[in-house]
Amino acid sequence: MGLSVSRVGSAAQTKAMKKVAGKMRLELAQFRELAAFVQFSSDLDPDTKKKIARGELLTEILKQADLEPAPFEKAVVILYAALSGAMDNIPIPEAQSYASGLLDWLEKLHRDEILGAIRKSSDFTDEVEEKLKAAIKDYGISAKS
């Protein structure tokens, strides 16, 4: 699948999705380029390994079941978690489970202040970002308990 997005597709995105997913296209392009390069080199520096791991993570979390599209506010939250580095230490096979657990946890404890705020305004404000950042940190602590 290509990385191009039509003008119509971009115009149809909410402000929240544009803000969160803005650098995702670049990260996925870098990942694909590095993944092709890795086939010829086994000695990778830590930065390259990190970019490859992030690309694998993004590829994994973008998968969704047929006929089960994620509500945009949930997609925004998961993309933010992945692109902010909050999921960098999650093993790829556990990424979907982590994302699902995070969303369930947010539904129970932060439905209105985070998910509801994104849904109602279609925006990802600095205030919502700070609340989400703190909630993701809290979830990581509670998940380890």
- Please tell me the chain's helix, strand, coil percentages from 3-state DSSP, rounded to the nearest 5: 70, 0, 30
Query: At residue 130, what are phi and psi to the nearest 5 degrees?
Result: -65, -40
* Measured distance between the N- and C-terminal CA atoms of the chain, rounded to whole angstroms: 40
Tell me which residue has tokens 């979390």: 61
Tokens standing for 128? 């919502």
| Residue positions annotated with a catalytic role | 7
